[in-house]
Amino acid sequence: MGGSPWMSVRIPRASYALRVSIVGQTITPDPATMKSSVGTCDFPWDEEQKRIAKYVQEPLQSVEKDAGIALHNSEWGVTLFRTPYETY
C-alpha cells in the first residue's frame, strides 16, 4: 500500500492540497505547504483559505468507519469515502 504525502480536498468550485505526515493513526497537515486551485467564480476563496489554514494546524486523527476514513480535529473534519479503485 502506498500513497502520496499530499491530502487533497475539494469544495464547491475550488480545491486545495497540502502536505501531511502520517505517524500511526495521526495525520498532521502542514499549512505552510497549502496549494490552491480555483476557477473563475464568486466563491470567497481568500476567506476560506484563511479558515482552512487555521483549522488544519492541529493534528488530524483518523478513524475507520463503514463509509470510509474520517479525519478530524476539534475544529475541522472530512470523510474520505471508499472508492472502487485500487491503491498502490
> Which pLDDT tens digit goes with each residue over 33-79?
766 655 545 556 667 667 766 666 666 777 777 766 777 776 666 66
pLDDT value of residue 56: 62
Whether residue 1 lies inside any domain: the answer is no
Interacting residues of 12 by C-beta distance below 8 A, sequence separation 6+: 43
Whether residue 26 lies inside any domain: the answer is yes
| Residue 1 clears pLDDT 50, i.e. is over it | no
* pTM given for the model: 0.34
Domain count, the chain: 1
Whether residue 21 lies inside any domain: the answer is yes
Q: Exposed, middle or buried, 41 (CB in 10 Å: 0-12/13-18/19+)? A: exposed
DSSP states of 65-83: -SSEEEEE-SS-EEEEE--
Which whole number is the average pLDDT over 16-42? 67
Cell of 6: 499530499
Largest CA distance in the chain: 39
Whether residue 86 lies inside any domain: the answer is no
